[in-house]
Structure 1
Amino acid sequence: MKTKTLAELSLRISSGLTPLRSNPLFWAGGNVPWLKTAQLGEKYIYATCEHITEEALEKTSIKLSPKNTLSIAMYGEGKTRGNVSILKKAMTTNQACCNVEIDPDKADIEYVYYFLKNQYNELRNLSSGVRKNLNSGDIKGFPIRLPEAVIEQSRLSAVLKAIDQKVELNTRINTDLDAMVKTLYAYWFVQFDFPNEDGKPYKTSGGEMVYNEILKSEIPLGWDGNYLSDWIKADKTGDWGKEALQGNYTLQVDCIRGADINGLNGTGKVAAPNRFILEKNTHKLLLPFDFVIEISGGSPAQSTGRISVITEEVLERFEHPVICSNFCKAISLKNSSYFYNFSYMWQWIYDHEILFGWEGKTSGIKNLLFDAFVTKYHVAMPPENLAKKFYDFVSPLQSKKQTLLKENAELESLRDWLLPMLMNGQVTIK
């Protein structure tokens, strides 16, 4: 093993720039990818949220970083600073990104990426100043320990890369499955083109529509107009318990927070803390056919009300019995045939930003006015046989999704266990 600085392994190290926002010639209609540090953290960056124009490239000092550049976050709140990603297409960045073009004759970019991931805390500890930012000088001098031969570096990184590729494949499969179900939900329950008795789309084929006084709109014959509360059988308040065994707090549980809901659904991590609750509170334990809904939190751009289904496969992802935190609420339905119908209906409501109108504030924290919402918001309720048909279609797809999420968690745990040993030379590849 040898030790080289990032500068010694690189063709160029530079930071980006933010073209003048007030100049529309630099932004309007632009097609040049422009990256901010908030996006850094995923291994590969394929696309950016914003774009600048060719004129901004010509008339400012901003540089286009080529494909397979390492980008390191020098600034950023929380855990952003020190995040690293590989740019998978040529793009520009803001000034908070340090962009490192690795010399392929000196180092394998995948190896350097994994080494920096392993040194995340050490890299962050170089931060200086009041705002604890990194600077390009520190990054240029950061030591990288690596095998002499680039081919040996590639062999080490290939093991970790294979794990990441499988995780990425599983994630893509889940994304496609969820998109398919959302499309089907909208087709059946929003556009009312569910299959009629002949297997043709109901409304498009002339199915009878009747005016509903509650909804003030037409719905298919045989459907009901009611409130969300008419679907709900019971709710369970959350619990936070204690961090350790204490007195009668002896029941060990994993506690789902609002921050874990995206992970349960497949778009983030699940880091549910381990807690201890009172034995008498076993009625708060989550069961299959429950839902967990976030009722406090959110942000100016994100409403409260994120939802996750609880199934046998979801519970199998945890080591202990599961509860939700007191910033969430668990509910169950009167009829489990409507389980996925309710789930995707709620998600449709959330995606269309309707829940922003049902929030209040307490001490600066947004709260979902849950009781008011479910007792006043009108919905169209399909017949049970149609809800059951949707359930039968979605159920195996959800099982597959949760199986892949569990597999991803195991793969990521394996990768994180191997990473430091490979980077420190404790494990070699023959």
Structure 2
Amino acid sequence: MKSKLKRYAMGEFSAVKHGFPFLGEFFASSGRYIVLTPGNFFEKGGFKRTPGKEKYYTSDFPSEYLCTPGDLMIAMTEQAEGLLGSTAIIPEGGIYLHNQRIGLITWDDTIVDKLYLYYLFMTRSVRKQIRDTASGTKVKHTSPERIYDVIVFIPDRDVQKRAASLLWSIDSKIELNNRIIAELEEMAKTIYDYWFVQFDFPDKNGKPYRSSGGEMVWNEKLKRKIPKGWESCPIGELLAKVSVTTKIQSVGYQMCGSIPVIDQSANFIAGYTDIPESVLHFTKGAVIFGDHTRIVKYVGFDFARGADGTQVLISNNACMPELLLYYSILKIDLSNYGYARHFKFLKETEIVVPNEGTAVSFEKVVTSLHEMITKKIFENIELVGIRDWLLPMLMNGQVTVE
């Protein structure tokens, strides 16, 4: 049943406050307070954590610019395509700082529900109005005044709350799945460190190898001791040649299709294609390396490759199965190398290569974790599809939640 809608300008029920101009000279790679950036927003909306890429602030600042849990923020600068006008809700207090490129939204609670307002900024109409009035050529910017002029049509507040609650429950499930994925990957990383950094993999008696007195020998190339019988090798010598050169151009991406298209974006699955498998297809079990972004992912399902410089890495050695290759690459620091050098340096990097028995055992243990990860990835794809299908109908009152 369609509900009645009332016309408003955003400025009639909301306000946007600019952030504080934090000084770059006090940014650091560690600390207590994290400066919010547009990178903390997903393009469609939602808060994005950026582990390892945070900008910490080490100087004094006005206390009013320390975010509290539940603060509704908006990206005022389009750092990435589609980001302008994206909103996010601060998940925890005492950590994040309200930066000048970010707006803090306040609202009249008698007119609009907070979560409804959060989802309102995800609608195509609102985003288009913000983008159409933005300034700048290469990088788009908006302002509180331009946001106030955005026209919206909203239903009664009780209808708002029911609609927003349904969308939030879907997003909460997506976030839970993301946390599960992160925890499963962390478990796999811990196993890798235990086996291939500390060298306490199970020996033939099931005891930790090094701690139980397993023989270690010096490896000149790695400049460290490794288990007897193990070797080292440059990554490039462990890679099979990928013969398929055809790539899916971004214009060929779809919202649905038979084959996921993988590229080096943070979103990992960029779209889908229905191009026949005989034309472009990789079977599951490959490592994806973004030559420009340095993003590394393991793909445990069939996929097609996007045309953005993404490298597909497949092992040619039984002692280095793809999952072991993936976690070995995660340990390599590529931060000091320019874009043109990333993949070249990666291939030149010497890594430890275990015996086949240990490699196979690791693959079996970690594969079970990645099967659960893959299940959660595709569950989230379905949930995102449901949410994106429902959102416009719920926000324009075409569908209501009883």
Amino acid at match of 1:343: Y
- 2:90 equivalent in structure 1: 87
Alignment of structure 1 residues 163-202 onto 2, 5 Å: 163-202=170-209
Give me the whole-angstrom Cα distance separating, in 1, the residues matched to 2:222 and 2:23. Answer: 49
| Change beyond 3 A, Cα 1:307–1:420 | same
Q: Does 1:346 align with 2:329?
A: yes
Paired position in structure 2 for 1:285: 281
CA contact (8 A) 1:244 1:276 kept: no
Distance 1:237 1:328, change over 3 A: farther
CA pair 121-270 structure 1, distance change in 2 beyond 3 A: farther
**Aligned residues of 1:46 and 1:89 also touching (Cα < 8 A):** no
Report whether the alignment pairs 1:137 with 2:145. Answer: yes
Aligned to 2:310: 328
- Relative to its length, the structure with more strand (as a share) is 1
Is the partner of 1:79 in helix, strand or coil?
Answer: coil
Q: Judge conservation of contact 1:238–1:323 (CA < 8 Å) in 2.
A: no
Cα distance in 2 for residues equivalent to 1:154 and 1:226: 59
Aligned pair count?
382
Q: State yes or no: 1:7 paired with 2:15.
A: no
Distance 1:32 1:328 in 2: 34
Return the offset for 1:208. Answer: 1.1
Q: In 2 relative to 1, CA 231–13 (structure 1 residues): closer, same or farther, beyond 3 Å?
A: closer
Q: 1:233 touches 1:331 (CA, 8 Å); kept in 2?
A: yes
Q: Secondary structure at the match of 2:188?
A: helix
Q: Do the aligned partners of 1:4 and 1:144 also contact (CA within 8 Å) in 2?
A: yes
Q: Indicate the RMSD between aligned Cα atoms, in angstroms.
A: 3.5
Secondary structure, aligned partner of 2:103: strand
Displacement after TM superposition at 1:94 (Å): 2.3
Task: In structure 2, give the amino acid aligned to 1:289.
Answer: G
> Which structure is richer in relative contact order (CA contacts within 8 A, separation 6 or more)?
2
Q: 1:54 to 1:403 in 2, by over 3 A?
A: same
Aligned residue for 1:265?
none
| Cα distance between partner residues in 2 of 1:213 and 1:65 | 51
- Secondary structure (helix, strand or coil) at the match of 1:123 reads helix
Q: Secondary structure at the match of 1:333?
A: coil
CA contact (8 A) 1:44 1:87 kept: yes
Which runs of 5 or more structure 2 residues have no equivalent in the other structure? 253-257
Confirm or deny that 1:153 pairs with 2:128. no
Deviation at 1:97, TM superposition (A): 2.0
TM-score, normalised to structure 1, is 0.76
1:202-236 per-position Cα deviation (integer Å, ceiling 9, x unaligned): 21222111223554432112222334345334433
What is the letter of the counterpart of residue 184 of structure 2? L
Matches within 5 A, 1:268-307: 268-272=267-271, 274=273, 282=279, 285-294=281-290, 296-298=291-293, 303=294, 306-307=295-296
Partner of 1:98: 103
Q: Summarize the Cα distance change of 1:218–1:88 in structure 2 as closer, same or farther, 3 Å threshold.
A: closer
Structure whose CA Rg is larger: 1
Q: Distance in 2 between matches of 1:153 and 1:28?
A: 41
Q: Name the counterpart of 1:257.
A: 263
> Structure 1: any 5+ residue segments left out of the alignment?
246-251, 263-267
Against the structure 1 CA distance between its residues 423 and 293, is the aligned structure 2 distance closer, same or farther, given a 3 Å change threshold? same
The TM-score with structure 2 as length reference comes to 0.81
CA distance in 2, matches of 1:66, 1:244: 41
CA shift in 2, pair 1:54/1:291, >3 Å? closer
Q: Distance in 1 between matches of 2:248 and 2:102?
A: 41
Retained in 1: the 8 A contact 2:286–2:312? Answer: yes
Partner of residue 411, structure 1: 383
